[in-house]
Structure 1
Amino acid sequence: ILGDEGIISVFIVVDSSSGKIVGGPHIQARGSGIDDSAFGAVTPKIQDALDKSAQDGVMEPHQLQQMVRRVVGKWVSDTYRRRPMILPVVVEV
């Protein structure tokens, strides 16, 4: 999958008490043919999904990572018709 579709990494820092975004999302793509600047369109979708998760009380990093993977994966699939490996990293501070 890496050789054909590439990899996208998403790094986000969230406040452990409120679930709000403190830093990021920082998104980088390698081997996918997608320019890093193109991810500006998906950043608000990630922020909206994280805000909704915080309102719903979902603050566990693993669950947030899965949510980020779904949001970015759907956007990449719909926009570019590609299915790269998506590696979300959510860090709590």
Structure 2
Amino acid sequence: LRTQGEATIVDALRHLEHAIEIMGIDHVGVGTDFDGDGGVRGMADASEMINFTRHLMERRYSERDIQKIWGGNWIRVMTQIQAAATKK
């Protein structure tokens, strides 16, 4: 997320927005890594993840896009995979 220092929530948002620019909103999502190995300042554990959503809202992401980022895209892809697997 950055070349020096500790990553912040703003760095994580910039990273997400870069991915959105490259792939589009329908192909990104947030995956947490809460295994006790550090974290990002401002969203270091589950109790702070609301901060990420607040930042998305401040940046004027729609409710629909926030749902996509927070798991909607993953659910859509998994549903498509399961449907394809049952056709075989």
Superposition TM-score, scaled by structure 2 size:
0.30
Larger Rg: 2
RCO higher in structure (CA 8 A, sep ≥6): 1
More strand by share: 1
More helix by share: 2
